[in-house]
Amino acid sequence: MPCGLIAFAAADGPATTAKSPYVYAFNTFPMDLKELENGVNPETHWYYQSKKLPLFFYAERLLNSGHPLTIVDVGAGSGFFALELEKHYRASIAKVYLVDIGYSAEEIASTKGQKIEKVVAIPSVIENALVLLMDVLEHLPDDLAMLQSIKEACVGTNNYFFITVPAFQSLWSGHDVFLGHYRRYRIPMLRQVLEKAKFRHISNYYLYGSLFSPIWAVRRLSNLSKKEAASNMRPAHPVINRLLLGLTSVEMKFTTANKLFGVTCVGQGQI
C-alpha cells in the first residue's frame, strides 16, 4: 500500500479531510507495516517485545478493578500491541477496535461484529476503554486535533490512554524522514498537547534510556554521511536480539521513573 491520505472519522460518518469533533486526516503509512516490510517480526524482535511491557504493566493496573475494557487502537496498522493485550488478558478485554484506513473492504467485512474488529473510523462512542496511539501523533501535522477527536468521542469517566511517540529532536535522522514524522517529543511537549486536549491524570516517562547514547551517536554519523532516508529497524542476529531484549526488558521494570532521556516518550492517564 503506498503512502497516502489516512483519515479517521466518527463511525457514523464518512472519512474526510474536513475537521470536526471526530475527524482528523493525515498523510502517513502505519509505522509497523513499514518495519514488517524490512523483515522485522514483532513476535520475536526485541524492540516490539520490550516495548509492549510498559503497556502491559499499565493495562494490568486498569484491569485490576475487575471491569473489562474495550481496546481502541488508533492507527493500528498490524494491530500488534492491541492483539497482544487481547491474547494476554483475553477474559478481561471486552472488545478490540483496530482503527486504520488502510484495511481493505474484505478485512472489514470479515471482522464486522467480532470481538476483534477492523474499522476505518474511530468509534463515535468510546466507553470503558483504553485508547492506544502507538507511534501515531508524530505523523500528524496537528496532533492536538486527533486528541480532541478522541476526547469528544469518550463517554463517562472510565476511559484511559496509552501513547508512545519518538523522543528528542536531537535523534532526528533519515529514519524519521522515511517514516514520515513531523517531530520528535520531549516530556513537556507531549504533556502540553495532552493537557490542551483536556486529558487528565497524565504520567510521562521515557523508554530505552540505556540505548540513547549509542543511538544518538549512530544517527549523528548517519546525518553527516547524508545517506538516503531509511528505517533503522532491521531483523537482528538471534544473539544480539536476545541480549537487547534482556537489557531492555529489565529497564522496562523501572522505566516509569525515567524522566531524563530516552528514545521513546510515553504518555498515559485518563481521558
**Domains detected in the chain:** 4-270 (3.40.50.150)
Mean pLDDT of 7-14: 45
Of the listed ranges 33-42, 95-104, 238-247, the one predicted with least confidence: 33-42
pLDDT band, very low/low/confident/very high, at 9 (cuts 50, 70, 90): very low
Higher pLDDT, residue 267 or 21: 267
Please say whether the beta carbons of 33 and 223 come within 8 A: no
pLDDT band, very low/low/confident/very high, at 271 (cuts 50, 70, 90): very high
Please say whether the beta carbons of 211 and 243 come within 8 A: no
- Tell me the β-bridge partners of 118: 98
Round the CA-based radius of gyration of the chain to a whole number and report it: 18
Q: What is the pLDDT of residue 38?
A: 66
Convert the pLDDT of each residue in 53-89 to its tens digit: 999 999 999 999 888 999 999 999 999 999 999 999 9
Tell me the one-letter amino acid at 94: A
Torsion of CA 119, 24, 152, 267, to 10 degrees: 90
Residue given cell 507531549 in the structure block: 190
List, in sequence order, the alpha helices (H) in 156-225: 174-179, 187-196, 212-225
C-alpha cell at 58: 499499565
Convert the pLDDT of each residue in 214-228 to its tens digit: 999 998 888 887 766
pLDDT surpassing 60 at residue 32: no
